[in-house]
Amino acid sequence: MDTNRAILAAILFLFPLIAHAQNIATKAEDISNDLGELNLSAGVSERQALILAQQYCDKYIAGCGSAYPAKSRGSSWDVPVRTGVSAHLEAHPVSVEKHTGKMSWGDGPTLLLTEILHSTDPAPTPLNAKLYPLSGDELASAVKIQFHVRPSGTTEIHSILRSAAAGGLECDFSARRTVEGWKFPPRKEGIMLVASLKSGCIVEKSGSGSL
């Protein structure tokens, strides 16, 4: 009986290490990484406008899906958005000012660049996960998950930002279970984080499925 308990304890200890995070970043750090070099004198690029519009969309527009291709309007970009399961095209696009990065939408609130990029809190690391860097190819195929760390240190999944390049939902669920099992040091306030993970699931070449 004691031997069985020891084996079970070892399995439970190792389970969170099935998938490893390449890095854990704050939401602000993740957005900054996606934006790349931001030169407001030259103006926000179309790619950057799409990223910023998506952030506005996620924050203020209920049921918002993907931000759609941007249209140049002189000193700003207009990014049409669709909402709901029917992908309804909203009457107002998200407007992104090219030389300030300020975002707005119809009669909704404005969102300043500093509000989404400013982060004074460094990203914490889980107490029960082994982290190691991924290569460029591994990172490109990694699962990317946005999650919230509660003050208690437990996690709450918000969304899968990027699915696994191979393995489909099996690998996504494997990575999701890993993040759900992470335990962070207790903190005064919750924090939103983004992790890139190499899924621990195995894709069988014979076509028999994932383990």
Lowest model confidence (mean pLDDT) among 47-61, 92-106, 123-137: 123-137
| Residue 180 is assigned to a structural domain of this protein | yes
- List the structure tokens of 145: 């998950």
- List the structure tokens of 143: 């699962």
**By C-alpha distance, which of 10, 1, 13, 27 is closest to 116?**
27
How many domains is the chain built from?
Answer: 2
Residues 193 and 130 in one domain: yes
The pLDDT of residue 24? 87
Q: Which domain holds residue 189?
A: 2-27+122-198
Residues 18 and 61 in one domain: no
- List the structure tokens of 26: 């704050």
Examine the pLDDT at 113 and tell me if it is beyond 70. Answer: yes
| Residue 54 is assigned to a structural domain of this protein | yes
Strands of the sheet with 64-67, listed across from one edge: 64-67, 81-83, 88-89
Q: How far apart are CA 73 and CA 64, in angstroms?
A: 23
Question: How sure is the predictor about 25, in pLDDT bands with cuts at 50, 70 and 90?
Answer: confident
| Residue 131 is assigned to a structural domain of this protein | yes
Examine the pLDDT at 189 and tell me if it is beyond 70. Answer: yes
Lowest model confidence (mean pLDDT) among 103-112, 136-145, 172-181: 136-145
Question: How sure is the predictor about 10, in pLDDT bands with cuts at 50, 70 and 90?
Answer: very low
Close Cβ partners of 14 (under 8 Å, ≥ 6 residues apart): none
3-state SS class at 4: helix
The pLDDT of residue 16? 41
Angle, to 10 degrees, between the axis of helix 27-35 and the axis of helix 46-60?
160
| Residue 116 is assigned to a structural domain of this protein | no
Q: What average pLDDT does range 122-142 have in this prediction?
A: 80
Contact 31, 119 (CB under 8 A): no
Residues 145 and 189 in one domain: yes
Question: How sure is the predictor about 148, in pLDDT bands with cuts at 50, 70 and 90?
Answer: very high
**By C-alpha distance, which of 184, 192, 180 is closest to 147?**
192
Find the largest Cα–Cα distance for the chain.
Answer: 74
